[in-house]
Amino acid sequence: MRLSLYSRFLLRQGNAYRAHGFHRQFPSRTFHASARALVIKPFLLADIGEGIRECEIIQWFVEPGARVEEWDKLCEVQSDKASVEITSKFDGVIKKLYYEAGEMAKVGKPLVDIDIQGEIKEEDLAALTEPGTGEETQIQAQDQAKEPTRAQIVKSTQIPEPLPTPQKVSSPKGKHATLATPAVRHLTKELDVRIEDVNGSGRDGRVLKDDVYQFAKQRDSAPAQVRSSPATSGGPQTETPTKFSNTQYQMFKSMTNSLAIPHFLYADEIDFSNLSDLRVRLNKGLAKHPVNELRKISFLPFVIKAVSMAIDRYPILNARVDTDPESGRPILIMRSQHNIGVAIDTPLGLMVPVIKDVSNLDIASIAAELNRLQSLAAGGKLSSKDLTGGTITVSNIGNIGGTYVSPVIVEKEVAILGMGKMRTIPAFDENGGVVKKQICNFSWSADHRVIDGATMARAAEVVRSFVEDPDSMVMYLR
């Protein structure tokens, strides 16, 4: 009888689902299937102000088993003079109500149990756990634990997925790029390797044991830290706690912040044949008559310039996301200078020095600046001026290896380009004959809160056209 009076609320919930046109069930083939059941969290009654410590539940709008979306009404509570509607912060299924209608609910204590079925932002984790244990659970959540199920939960709660689409399996964050068997994860922990760094050679980009070994070997080529070596046959497991170095710690902090950005991956194959020919010709010339001591030029300056030209057409790639101090709403801050960061692997670790104002530099100057930064980096002498102010980043992991990569966007930026290794493949020319082609894979990651697929695709096409046909850049020579 009571429910019929408020049936319009129930109807509204039902209508919301109908509008989507699909059942609110996730496809059974996600790899989170078993981990889901473990994400039932108690949702705490938030502070309603005025120093009120408890309030009476007037009525419930949900019951155990009800599906809720973020912002659906859970219940109405009453404190002295105020009646307050409590809404849900998460999508999910209500599992348990802690109070009956008419009971006094305590502020700060669990109100309902909810089986969360959407993304959980870091700041919302606080609404779930008791205040005292807040930090604990967050650290646990970030710890790449040995148990694979825990690691899978970590992935399911940490990787912010793009806006919910019906096909969760094919969500393009490179799920498979970080997918690995427990044995491989164990190995990565042992070798102190970040699984995102390793380019997987397995199916769909999965990381295999060999990949990890290779990566670790290349990294270990400069003897920097004490590391536990791969287990030799026989002998027990040894664990050696190693503190983060400064650089590593910076990377840790920076990447943790990048977690808040919903990434989507856009990958493409670029034909480098024309650029390769051009480069060969240019280098011949430079060898004879160096320009500003530049004797050789690599591909990277061309790519950097192409990216800058794409930004001219799609300035949103150069922006950053911030919050408007007055309204508290997120806003986009557009930036005029193209400061392109270049990821460099140094003996100390990953560093991203920035080439400032690329749009006003010609390719030779870009190359010269690149050389300067690289030599500074090799000597560990990069200044903070070199390392800050970036607006977009290019990461040429292909220098070392890898085909596809899912790069992580740097804090305060909205896009990043990862370049794979250049390789020669057979292809067909217009007569049907087989020719050699030099290709390289560009993998873009972009912030899906601001950049949509179409914009990314168009910008990527601009870069591709300049790189595949470098002669066209001539039209924009100043």
Partner 1 sequence: MAPSRGLLFRLRPSIQSIKSQCRRYSQFVAAATDPTLKARVFISQTTNPYLNLSIEHYLLQKTPADSTVLFLYANSPCVVIGRNQNPWIEVNLGVLRNEKLDVKLVRRRSGGGTVFHDEGNVNYSVICPTSAFNRDKHAEMVVRALKSLGAEKARVNERHDIVMDKGDKEGILKPFKVSGSAYKLTRLRSLHHGTCLLSSPNLQSISKYLRAPAKPFIKARGVDSVSSPITNVGVEISKFREAVASEFRSMYGIRPEASDSFLLVDEKAREVPEIAQGLDELLSDDWIYGQTPQFTFSTENTTTTADEPLTSAWPTILRECEIGFTAKHGRLTEVSVDFKGRVDEPSKLTLRKKLSYISSGPVEMKQMKSPLINRELHKINDWEEVLPPFSGTDGEPDVDASPGKTMNRLFGVGNYEPSVYVG
Candidate list 58, 291, 294, 473; residue touching partner 1; CB under 8 A: 58
Q: Which is nearer to partner 1, 94 or 309 (CB)?
A: 94
Write out the two tokens for 224. 């920097």
Candidate list 21, 102, 235, 241; residue touching partner 1; CB under 8 A: 102
Q: Which is nearer to partner 1, 59 or 214 (CB)?
A: 59
Examine residue 79 and tell whether it contacts partner 1 (CB under 8 A): yes
Tell me the window of 17-25, 80-88, 247-255, 409-417 that interacts with partner 1 (CB under 8 A).
80-88
Examine residue 56 and tell whether it contacts partner 1 (CB under 8 A): yes
Residue 186 neighbours by CB under 8 Å, 6+ apart: 146
Q: Of 142, 148, 156, 154, which Cα lies nearest the Cα of 180? A: 148
Cα-based distances in Å from 300 to 189, 223, 317, 381: 32, 27, 19, 22
Distance CA 357, CA 468 (A): 24
Residue 352 neighbours by CB under 8 Å, 6+ apart: 341, 342, 343, 344, 387, 390, 393, 410
Whether 260 contacts 125, CB under 8 Å? no
Examine residue 85 and tell whether it contacts partner 1 (CB under 8 A): yes
| Residue of 324, 362, 452, 469 marked catalytic | 452
Examine residue 143 and tell whether it contacts partner 1 (CB under 8 A): no
Tell me the window of 83-91, 267-275, 353-361, 435-443 that interacts with partner 1 (CB under 8 A).
83-91
Taking the CA atoms of residue 163, residue 16, residue 70 and residue 68 in that order, the dihedral angle to the nearest 10 degrees is: -120
Q: Is 32 a catalytic residue?
A: no
Examine residue 84 and tell whether it contacts partner 1 (CB under 8 A): yes
Candidate list 10, 48, 159, 473; residue touching partner 1; CB under 8 A: 48
Whether 84 contacts 48, CB under 8 Å? yes
Residue 151 neighbours by CB under 8 Å, 6+ apart: 144, 145, 182, 185
Q: Is 263 a catalytic residue?
A: no
What is the per-residue binding string for partner 1 in 309-328, x denoting contact by CB under 8 A?
A: -------------------x
Q: Which is nearer to partner 1, 5 or 19 (CB)?
A: 5
- Residues assigned a catalytic role: 448, 452
Residues at the contact surface with partner 1, assessed by CB under 8 A: 1-2, 5, 8, 48, 50, 56, 58, 71, 78-85, 87, 101-102, 104, 328
